[in-house]
Amino acid sequence: MVAAGVAWAGLRFMGTVPEQEESMPTFSDFEVQSGAARVRLSDFEGEVVVVYFGYARCPDICPTTLATVASAFQALAPDQLAKVRGLFVSVDPARDLPEHARSYAEFFHPQIVGGTSDAEAVAAIAEDWGIRFARADGASEAMGYTIDHTSIVYLVAPDGRMKKAMPHGGDPARLSAAIVEILGASGG
């Protein structure tokens, strides 16, 4: 299922995950609940936002990806890091309540905000962003269920436009270089 989601996302992005903004799709703003706070993507205007969709009980892909984002953030100079934010959106709102999504994301790095919404809103956000996810019952006896999902790291420029999309398994150095490139292009 994950492979199918990644393949679908690849088709949506003209056969590959694009590296240049000319081929990037346009996404809508959205709102999630992070702990007690409501957070909108547009709240981070003026910053590079690294957006990732996943879930806190994910056994491997999500923690690996968020660790990559955290490592990329740690490689940035302090003035660069001040202009960067991570945004983790949980696609498992039944188990990842807003406080749990917030604390899970912050565990990896304090610049990563975690949030979720009700199931209908999460489905609409994911659809707009080309994220496919599906509950996989019985996949893990200990966890009850897992969620197969598309795993792409999106980079949104300070002006709110999508700049890059990077597939799961990326190198932290490559991600930090992409962030620095976007900061430089925006005069940051």
pLDDT, tens digit, 9 for 90 and up, residues 5-43:
333 344 343 333 444 455 566 678 999 999 999 999 999
- Token pair 């489905």 is at which residue? 123
Q: How many domains does the chain have?
A: 1
Q: What is the pLDDT of residues 119-141, one digit of tens each?
A: 999 999 999 999 999 998 876 66
∠ CA 146-91-95, rounded to 5°: 65
pLDDT beyond 60 at 75: yes
Q: In this structure, what CATH number is given to the domain that contains residue 66?
A: 3.40.30.10
The string of pLDDT tens digits covering residues 80-130 is 999 999 999 999 999 999 999 999 999 999 999 999 999 999 999 999 999
Structure tokens at 173: 């150095």
Q: Note the pLDDT tens digit of each residue in 2-15.
A: 333 333 344 343 33
Write out the residue range of the structural domain in which residue 88 sits.
2-185
> What pLDDT is attached to residue 93?
96
Given this model, what pLDDT does residue 23 score? 58
